[in-house]
Amino acid sequence: MLKRLANNTIIRLVSGVIIGLLVGPYLNDIILQIILSTKHILGQLILFLVPLIILGFIVSSIAKLDQKSSVIIGFSLAIAYISSIGAGFFSGSLGYSILPWLDIPSAATTGKALPTMLFKLDIPPIFDVMTSLILALMIGLGILWTQSKPLEIAFDHFREIVLLLVNRVLVPLLPLYIACNFALLSYVGTIQSQLPIFLIVILIVILAHIIWIGVLYTIAGIYSKKNPWEVLKHYGPTYLTALGTMSSAASLGVALQSAHKSKVLKPEITNFTIPFFSNVHLCGAMITETFFVMTVSLVLYGHLPDIGTLILFVLLLGVFALGAPGVPGGALMASLGLITSMLGFDDTGIALVLTIFALQDSFGTACNIVGDGALSLMATAFNERQQKREAQ
The whole-number pLDDT of residue 299 equals 83
Pure H helices in the chain: 2-23, 29-63, 70-98, 129-146, 149-165, 171-188, 191-224, 229-232, 236-245, 252-261, 267-280, 283-301, 307-322, 330-334, 336-343, 347-391
The whole-number pLDDT of residue 108 equals 46
Q: Which among 194, 240, 232, 15 is positioned nearest to 102, based on CA atoms?
A: 194
Q: Which residue has the higher pLDDT, 57 or 168?
A: 168
d(CA 228, CA 176): 45
Is 104:334 a contact under the CB 8 Å cutoff?
no
Radius of gyration of the chain (CA): 21
Percent of the chain with pLDDT over 70: 83
Tell me the pLDDT band of 163, cut-offs 50, 70 and 90. confident
The whole-number pLDDT of residue 13 equals 64
Mind listing the pLDDT tens digit for each residue in 111-121? 566 677 778 88
Mind listing the pLDDT tens digit for each residue in 354-365? 777 777 777 888
The whole-number pLDDT of residue 244 equals 61
Arithmetic mean of pLDDT, 239-250: 69
The whole-number pLDDT of residue 194 equals 64
Answer whether residue 320 shows pLDDT above 90.
Answer: no
Number of compact structural domains in the chain: 1
Mind listing the pLDDT tens digit for each residue in 215-225? 999 999 999 99
Tell me the pLDDT band of 230, cut-offs 50, 70 and 90. very high
Answer whether residue 1 shows pLDDT above 50.
Answer: no
Average pLDDT of the residues of the chain: 81
What is residue 114's DSSP assignment?
P
Arithmetic mean of pLDDT, 343-348: 82
Tell me the pLDDT band of 246, cut-offs 50, 70 and 90. low
> Could you tell me the CATH number of the domain that includes residue 4?
1.10.3860
The whole-number pLDDT of residue 330 equals 63
The whole-number pLDDT of residue 2 equals 46
The whole-number pLDDT of residue 315 equals 92
Of 61-65, 126-130, 201-205, 354-358, give the range with the top mean pLDDT. Answer: 201-205
Q: Which residue has the higher pLDDT, 174 or 310?
A: 310
d(CA 286, CA 318): 7
Mind listing the pLDDT tens digit for each residue in 184-214? 777 776 666 667 777 888 899 999 999 999 9
Mind listing the pLDDT tens digit for each residue in 262-305? 989 888 788 778 877 877 788 998 999 999 999 988 888 888 99
Arithmetic mean of pLDDT, 26-34: 85
Answer whether residue 73 shows pLDDT above 80.
Answer: no
d(CA 348, CA 178): 8
Task: Write the burial class of residue 266 (CB in 10 Å: 0-12 exposed, 13-18 middle, 19+ buried).
Answer: middle
Print the domain residue range for 311.
1-391
Answer whether residue 10 shows pLDDT above 70.
Answer: no
